[in-house]
Homo-oligomer: A and B are copies of this chain.
């Protein structure tokens, strides 16, 4: 099967123009078909304050009311997405910026109201493989913001890590998938202060040992569970590390089933 790289970048890299441009240059160097998924950046909070949109938090998580959804659609699908697309075009990479509503490519269902009502937040239910395959045939590189739709006219806010994993699991029917989660650290570390403590390989068995010995910080556990969920869904490898890992010889954490 042909290889496909899916790369997720978060807010920190988007905030700094030079870092973003350097990353995008590395990204264009990845051979073969690839997908970029991006988060939002911190501007949403600053703009919400100025526009008088109250930020509602429940259990430490932002609630997406209609005003917030409009704001993040503006910032993520508009400003951040199109800026990335224009820069990639400038680097000779034929990028196409998308939300899940575009070409009905990623469908989600509004999260049911349980003990917490998260508002207009979507859980992915379907990824349009035909669309991705058509686009790859034209050598076009999809750039996704973390917004999906319900198929009935409603946009939904969806976690960028989750979108990355869901695209990967669905396209695993057609490709050998590597997910690349870029963040500030070199990868999963025994000691955040010590870069030599990077764990270069984790599989399902060693993950259990790391959990039993309390070697991993609490913050990394959801990321690793998300990674194993993707691997169980057919993804071949999950890489967690600094954005430089995608096209340079820098070490990172490689997560596989065995």
Complex Cα–Cα for A207 and B104 (A): 44
Given A52-B50, A138-B134, also A101-B77 (CB < 8 A) = no
Interface residues of A, count at CB 8 A: 41
Copies in the complex: 2
- Neighbouring B residues of A138 by C-beta, 8 Å: 103, 134
Cα distance A140–B134 in the bound complex, in angstroms: 12
Chain B contacts of A74 at CB under 8 A?
A: 74-75, 78-79
A77 contacts B82, C-beta separation under 8 Å? yes
Sample of 20 further A-B pairs with CB below 8 A, known A74-B78, A86-B155: A50-B50, A50-B51, A73-B78, A73-B82, A74-B74, A74-B75, A77-B77, A77-B78, A77-B79, A78-B78, A78-B79, A78-B81, A86-B101, A89-B153, A90-B154, A95-B101, A95-B102, A97-B102, A103-B140, A134-B138
